[in-house]
Amino acid sequence: MMSLKEMVNKPFDKARLKGTFITSVYALFLSTCILLGLISLLTTYFVVLRNFGCDVFFAALCLPAFVGLLALYLAFSAVWNMSLVISMLDGVHGTGALALAIYYSRGSEWRGLRLMLVFFAWGEGLRLPCLYFGCYEREYGIVAQISLFCLGNVLKWVVCMVYFNDCKNRAFEKKECVESVDDEVGTQVEAVGE
C-alpha cells in the first residue's frame, strides 16, 4: 500500500502529464454532456413549463429527473476524478484510465457519490453566500473565495488519491479472494473425482 507521502512525492514526466491531459479531455467531454442535460432540464422547466403554471408537473417529473441526473453526475464525477488520479500515478491514460477507474470503483459507487456530494456542497456553499452578500464587489471577498476554492480542490485531490488506493486495494483483495476460492473448489472437485 502506498502512503500519502509516497503518492505526493512520485515524480511526473512529460509523457505522464500528456496522458493526464488526454484523460482530462475525456472527463471534460463526459461531464459537459451530463451538465448540458441538467441545463436543458432546467431550461425546459423555467421557459416552457413555468409559463403554463404547471408546478405539479415539475414536482412530479422534472424534480426527480433533476435529482437523478445530479446523482448520476456526482457518481460519474468520482470515476472521472479517479481516472485522473490513475493517469497521474499509474501512467495509464484516456479510455484505459476510465476503464480502470470503473473497474476499481465497482462496489464503492455509493462512497464515491457521497465524497463528490460533499465537495459539490462545499463548492455551492461557497458560491451562494458570495452571490447573496455580494462578495464579488470587494477585492477581499474574491481573494477569500478563491483561497477557499483552492483549499477545497487540494483537499478533493488528496481525498481522490486515498479513495483510489482504497478502491484499488479492495479490487485486489476481491481478486485474491476469488482466486483462493477457485483453488479450493478446484482441489475439492479433484478430490471428489478420485
- Is the residue at 77 inside a domain? yes
pLDDT digits (tens, 9 = 90+) for 32-62: 888 888 888 777 777 766 666 666 666 677 7
- The pTM (predicted TM-score) of the whole model is 0.71
Q: What is the pLDDT, as a whole number, of residue 31?
A: 82
Q: Which domain holds residue 105?
A: 13-193
pLDDT above 70 (res 2): no
Residue 7: inside a domain: no
Q: By the 8 A CB rule, do 62 and 45 touch?
A: yes
Q: Rounded to whole angstroms, how far apart are CA atoms 88 and 82?
A: 10
Phi, psi torsion values for 107, nearest 5 degrees: 95, -10
Task: Note whether 125 and 131 are within 8 A (CB).
Answer: no
Residue 73 in any domain: the answer is: yes
In the chain, how many domains are there? Answer: 1
- Determine the pLDDT at residue 161: 86
Q: Tell me: pLDDT of 19 over 60.
A: yes
